[in-house]
Structure 1
């Protein structure tokens, strides 16, 4: 392959900043199209790149009247095709490819495909090309006509190049990579052949942990062309774990964590510290010990512990926009996998640790979390809301952790089914239980509608400009200052449109015209509509029950403009995705699937009281707590009953909470 030649035409596409860079060179070729001789493969490729430019960005040549650019580009292309046909017949594709300049590696294949040159390529010569240049396998796989015409040749080349072949198949079939070009596999490359390729890859020291992650979590429900065998899935899992352990065994990487303590010397219900990237929540042992009745335990779960936020949204789920900048692009991920981030890991860990800590604390003081939850379903819902038919039977204290895990899954499903039947029929009729399926938590209806507002079709267009840390409006060049997003710039600085370069003024004008910016005496400030979108951006949903009349009217206007949309389910889409990920394996290839794990004997049991099984039980108990709190809140809204009757005078937050909030605010400002 020859050196890069920057003087030759390259077509970048109309949206590329360099789209018009080769306009003058194109005109030079077009004006000379009738007598220009195509003397090399690079001349031929350049002629085709010129044609693509004329057809893809015609406005570049609108004022050029000295030549019929459309006709001239077609003429150049005809000359190029004639050259390719002759050269292939005489020299062969392997020799031709060796003459290609570096910048034309991929355009070479575009030209060969456009000329239908596969018809005159000798199979033996094509085999020689793939042997000398294995990277051409990928380019061939992107073109159906080549895969059909050289099926056995490509299949043989893939078997001989397992590293390239494995990573190409994984990346293009099963990952959420940004490639928009379809990949076609040879029909003679059977599932067993691909298994052999993958096994060679797994056993190779060059195997990349990112690709192994996707292979172990292969999305079989969405990718049918290849389904890895059990041997491949297990091998990928073990090699991935081994690779990750080796990668971080010397202390490399970023360490962060979460901790929970119940402090018998702390008076206020809740405290919080943050040190060395570890956040610790502390809870008053004095308060928790003083009141251990079921009602107070449930109120503690609502108001003190971290299951639901102040808007009634679950805290643990990963949110769409909490991954910032390049961090969101790191790694390779399977198609449709559940994505979690450091922030959601911490929140999830806190909820799990709080569940385990409170459960152990209560048992030491002759009470149980399970008893409180049973009281809610077996007594409270009937006594408070007049709804008969809820029931719950959780495992006893003496049961092994394995049997607890087996028992709690069906009880979670029973609770959801009972609520769902009530939401649909206005009563819990036991005859309907066998017909109530629960494949996904996203199908559980709300009683009060609309319940939430979530992102609509037009949300990202405005949200990316206002709230993304990748938007250029988040940086004030004149002051050499930056914020996390343009919204924060408007909140913390007195700015005008003139603080930005002229090419960004159209973005600001568009936001103002759409009603998301207000021009005040101190400059540009976010409007109430912008603040509404910020809530949805940060939390993936906004609960409507907490909004005032004017705010509900604003939401309605945004819904009518297709920027937001209503959601009428008990759980937000983000909450439902998290619950599906944790509970069953129907939605995500990397699901924890805790219910299925203990229903279908996923692994041999050496110790029924193993730490891992204990942790799984507390995870499911945590899910049940969240579901119970969401159901209780919905019944309260629908009936107007329930809630706190009497408040005990006791400090809620320790001074450490306020000190930490002040410290974090100060760091954010500076």
Structure 2
């Protein structure tokens, strides 16, 4: 077992304890003893970390300059030690590296080309020890290239290899560095390695799920047979109790009752219960109001007509972002997504049943929208929607709805491109519907983040992982800098650490903050735009007041935001691809393809659930088309 060493770590500037290690590095170099002999590999790595921290690009120039001469003594010490490593002491030194310094050891091993001093035999002896953590070594390209055959032989037999392949080719990388695999290990060998892992004693349940969901590529070919074996292995593990699974169940219920308010919410032992006024609904059964209920009562979209269905990265908790094994093409969800998914599904299900009690079939409302409302309100002819028969099974209803959804979107595309729906041209078209390419009727509809600077501003202002929200005299009262500035009087002198001062001054240079009468203030317009982008990943330009338009134009001209004219926003088209097919996401629900290509389940309850999800998307399409035409 590796020893521990309580030394200075090398971290990125956005890490919560970056400033602490900068301060520790200052103390280290200020009291540095130049006569000290460095024989401990961990002391040498710590000296390297101090050098890197005190020359970090995110520290103020004056601050870096102040320590530039002091830290010059450190790198010769590091170089001398690593140049002294040979076959005689290599394994002993490797074993002495502390658990928190393994990554830096191999970075320095690569940096000083120590691999030129270590024979293949000695390197093979070390890496074939089952306790050697291979992925740290595989992060260094030149080491992998130098020991190509040796590493390939090791990986063919190591229990770590399958997880490395999964991490490299199947998982979302996030902030984790990708490994380099030796060229001698061929992609055609991966399946055998992965199969051995699937049938091993303790495979990871998350890794099995990623294998099952993975779409085969030339870089990592995976057969359908192996994917099926991974699925069955998961079921075996769950059935025999060899793995414990903790499910976070978020109960959401919907009820229609005679109550005083249009919408009330009760917290019950089972979860959140949303109660809608039945009498109000009975008094307002006209079709326009019944559709508007999805906006104003159920909240399927916000006041800028952005759907609440998609998963938004800012709504993921810190553990949801980093924990677990995630496929490289997986649609990432969290508790916020799950809540809205369950609530909107319960709303849709309950609403359809409540309308049936009032002798209204919901598909008739959709048909009315396309075939009557669009003609009467906008003089647009040519849209059609064929309802399923009243005695249809849920399987038949799903098949029909999946097909009609495609048809409606193709009709809309024709109208957007040509100003009319030519039925003969529609019948000639075999182009598939690509949700992300459907055009808007407006030239500038959506705005998105387009620069790393904007992303950094949003992190500093809104992330609960940024330490700028903490100042000593106020304490840990606020989750982010934005909330701190809105509620407290803050001065530049409240920040004493150099890295934090750099970040605050950078925000001032970006005109996100300013100093007025000695107090730090937000630029309200810029902060509003950034908050909107952070919380929704997209902004809708038509809903911004005129006094903000010049700022938006300026942000566009300098490349901070980009403007598009698509029917759906990126989060919305991503969501539709997740629910309806598997073209973009390996864990897609594939509802459209399942029913169009007859690969559906034999379970009628599943068909009923799928019908609700398909109808939710149909309602969203109705809302988005109506908004386009109203704005036009």
- Match status 1:352 vs 2:312: no
Out of 172, 189, 195, the residue aligned to residue 191 of structure 2 is 195
Could you tell me how far 1:258 is from its partner in structure 2? 1.4
- Aligned residue pair count: 614
What's the Cα RMSD here?
Answer: 4.1
1: distance between equivalents of 2:210 and 2:221?
12
2: distance between equivalents of 1:592 and 1:113?
44
Could you report, residue by residue, the CA deviation over 1:98-136 in whole angstroms, capped at 9, with x for unpaired residues? 576777655554555456565675555444333325525
1: distance between equivalents of 2:474 and 2:531?
25
Out of 444, 463, 468, the residue aligned to residue 438 of structure 2 is 444
- Which residue is 1:230 aligned to? 224
Could you report, residue by residue, the CA deviation over 1:243-265 in whole angstroms, capped at 9, with x for unpaired residues? 678999999564422111122x2
- Match status 1:544 vs 2:541: yes
Could you tell me how far 1:382 is from its partner in structure 2? 1.9
- Which residue is 1:212 aligned to? 208
2: distance between equivalents of 1:510 and 1:145?
37
Task: Write out aligned runs for 1:497-576 (5 A).
Answer: 497-501=492-496, 503=498, 504-517=500-513, 524-526=520-522, 527-576=524-573
Out of 162, 166, 171, the residue aligned to residue 167 of structure 2 is 171
- Which residue is 2:61 aligned to? none
Gap regions ≥5 residues in structure 1: 639-670
Is the partner of 2:128 in helix, strand or coil?
Answer: helix
Could you tell me how far 1:343 is from its partner in structure 2? 1.4
Out of 574, 588, 607, the residue aligned to residue 577 of structure 1 is 574
- Which residue is 2:466 aligned to? 471
Distance 1:467 1:114, change over 3 A: closer
Could you tell me how far 1:346 is from its partner in structure 2? 1.2
Out of 378, 397, 406, the residue aligned to residue 413 of structure 1 is 406
- Which residue is 1:258 aligned to? 252
**TM-score normalised over the length of structure 1:** 0.79
Contact 1:152/1:188 (<8 A) preserved: yes
Is the partner of 1:484 in helix, strand or coil?
Answer: coil
Could you tell me how far 1:387 is from its partner in structure 2? 1.4
- Match status 1:616 vs 2:613: no
- Match status 1:587 vs 2:593: no
Distance 1:416 1:509, change over 3 A: same
- Which residue is 2:488 aligned to? 493
2: distance between equivalents of 1:538 and 1:390?
35
Could you tell me how far 1:374 is from its partner in structure 2? 0.9
- Which residue is 1:282 aligned to? 275
Distance 1:325 1:47, change over 3 A: closer
- Which residue is 1:646 aligned to? none
Could you tell me how far 1:501 is from its partner in structure 2? 4.0
Could you tell me how far 1:97 is from its partner in structure 2? 4.6
Out of 377, 380, 388, the residue aligned to residue 384 of structure 1 is 377
Is the partner of 1:259 in helix, strand or coil?
Answer: strand
Contact 1:580/1:586 (<8 A) preserved: yes
Contact 1:420/1:444 (<8 A) preserved: yes
Contact 2:440/2:566 (<8 A) preserved: yes
Could you report, residue by residue, the CA deviation over 1:475-521 in whole angstroms, capped at 9, with x for unpaired residues? 34313341232222233334444454464445444434544346678
Contact 2:237/2:243 (<8 A) preserved: no
1: distance between equivalents of 2:484 and 2:44?
48
1: distance between equivalents of 2:215 and 2:145?
26
Is the partner of 1:382 in helix, strand or coil?
Answer: helix
2: distance between equivalents of 1:107 and 1:520?
44
Task: Write out aligned runs for 1:15-414 (5 A).
Answer: 17=22, 28=34, 62-63=68-69, 73=76, 77=79, 81=83, 83-84=84-85, 87-88=86-87, 91=88, 97=94, 105-106=102-103, 109-110=106-107, 113=110, 123-135=120-132, 137-144=134-141, 147=144, 150-162=147-159, 164-178=160-174, 181-191=177-187, 193-218=189-214, 220=216, 224-240=218-234, 254-263=248-257, 265-266=258-259, 268-276=261-269, 278-414=271-407
Distance 1:382 1:627, change over 3 A: same
Distance 1:592 1:487, change over 3 A: same
Contact 1:2/1:101 (<8 A) preserved: yes
Could you report, residue by residue, the CA deviation over 1:596-641 in whole angstroms, capped at 9, with x for unpaired residues? 12223435x434xx11111011101110110111001111111xxx
